[in-house]
Amino acid sequence: MRNRTTFAQYLFCLIGLLLLCPGICTAMDTISINGSGSALDMMKPMIAAYQKNNKDVRIIMEKPLGSSGAVKALLAGALDMVLSSKPLKPEETAKGAQQQLYGRTPLVMIAEKKVRKGDITTKELEDIYTGKSSSWPNGEAIRLVLRPREDVDSKILSALSPGMAHAMDEARSRPGMIVGVTDPEAYSIVSKTPGGLGATGMTSIIAEKLPVASLKLNGVTASPQALASGAYPLSKEISIVTTPGTPPAAHKLISFMLSPPGRAIAGKTGVLVTTGAAAHK
């Protein structure tokens, strides 16, 4: 009998605590995000700002899987949202993936910090990738850091000029070429390789404070403004990919990304935001 009384008292106290302090037993919302390395670099300051006023949300963002790998994980239910640099495939859309363009960031040619060069032309890039030019003006050997053929950065560079597509094929045919599979791997290799040359999104350069030299292209400095005017030709798209199963907590984060404060944060990391809050449903 005594045990029953003690249990009843305990239960009564517990109910009282729940009524007085419902927040203490509220489960913390968790949002799992992944995608393109350049896009995830943009999300780091975005998440930091969001969580200042949303301390009850836990956001998990592991090392980048890449756009394609992250969409697969999203469709398998392992992620809540994806930041992608690629358009969805028809089969991904058929499985429920929904894509919304967020903006664009310049794809910047970068070199190892000690390379004494501030500008590079399309013709110079064509000669470097074909192997006609193999050294920097100071005599240092140029060490190209390529991306996989199907990577979006490779496709963007190939579209720079008719000669560039051929030049990149030539580079891949040479033995011993360095290949960075992910965005962080590629820009890390460039920064640590004497004479290194590669490309990465401006978001990574700014958010990660990369120790590399950012090169002008044909005399034009990469920037969101240069993208908007059409003066700078190389850009990576950043889009938000969700599914019908994406939880409300993730949609709340997306609404913040589309809000004026979120757009301002993206702009500071080198993104030309091309969609507004009204576009998010």
pLDDT-derived band at 198 (thresholds 50, 70, 90) equals very high
Q: Is the pLDDT score of 71 beyond 80?
A: yes
Q: Are residues 98 and 127 in the same domain?
A: no
Q: Are residues 241 and 187 in the same domain?
A: no
Q: What is the pLDDT of residue 146?
A: 97
Token code pair at residue 237: 């798209």
Residues 111 and 114: their CA atoms lie apart, in Å, by 8
Question: Is 174 contained in some domain?
Answer: yes
Question: Is 21 contained in some domain?
Answer: no
Q: Which of 178, 183, 147, 180 is nearest to 63 (CA)?
A: 183
Question: Is 42 contained in some domain?
Answer: yes
Q: Are residues 61 and 168 in the same domain?
A: no
> Over the stretch 210-269, which tens digit does the pLDDT of each residue have?
999 999 999 999 999 999 999 999 999 999 999 999 999 999 999 999 999 999 999 999
Residues 198 and 151: their CA atoms lie apart, in Å, by 13
Averaged pLDDT for residues 162-176: 95
Averaged pLDDT for residues 56-68: 94
Question: Is 138 contained in some domain?
Answer: yes
Averaged pLDDT for residues 12-40: 68
Q: Is the pLDDT score of 202 beyond 80?
A: yes
* Torsion from C-alpha of 254, 257, 261, 266, nearest 10 degrees: 170
Residues 129 and 199: their CA atoms lie apart, in Å, by 13
CB pairs under 8 A, 24+ apart, for 257-263?
A: 257/46, 257/102, 258/102, 261/49, 262/46, 262/49, 262/50
Q: Are residues 38 and 56 in the same domain?
A: yes
Question: Is 20 contained in some domain?
Answer: no
Provide the domain count of the chain: 2
Q: What is the mean pLDDT of the chain?
A: 90
Q: Are residues 99 and 199 in the same domain?
A: no
Q: Are residues 181 and 275 in the same domain?
A: no
Q: What is the pLDDT of residue 280?
A: 38
Question: Is 55 contained in some domain?
Answer: yes
Averaged pLDDT for residues 161-166: 95
Token code pair at residue 267: 């702009």
Q: Is the pLDDT score of 13 beyond 50?
A: no
Q: Are residues 191 and 249 in the same domain?
A: no
Question: Is 170 contained in some domain?
Answer: yes
Question: Is 24 contained in some domain?
Answer: no
Q: Is the dihedral of CA 244, 250, 251, 254 positive or negative?
A: negative
> Over the stretch 146-157, which tens digit does the pLDDT of each residue have?
999 999 999 999
Burial class of residue 44 (count of CB atoms within 10 Å of its CB; 0-12, 13-18, 19+) = middle
Domain span at residue 110 reads 105-235
Q: What is the CATH number of the domain that holds 81?
A: 3.40.190.10
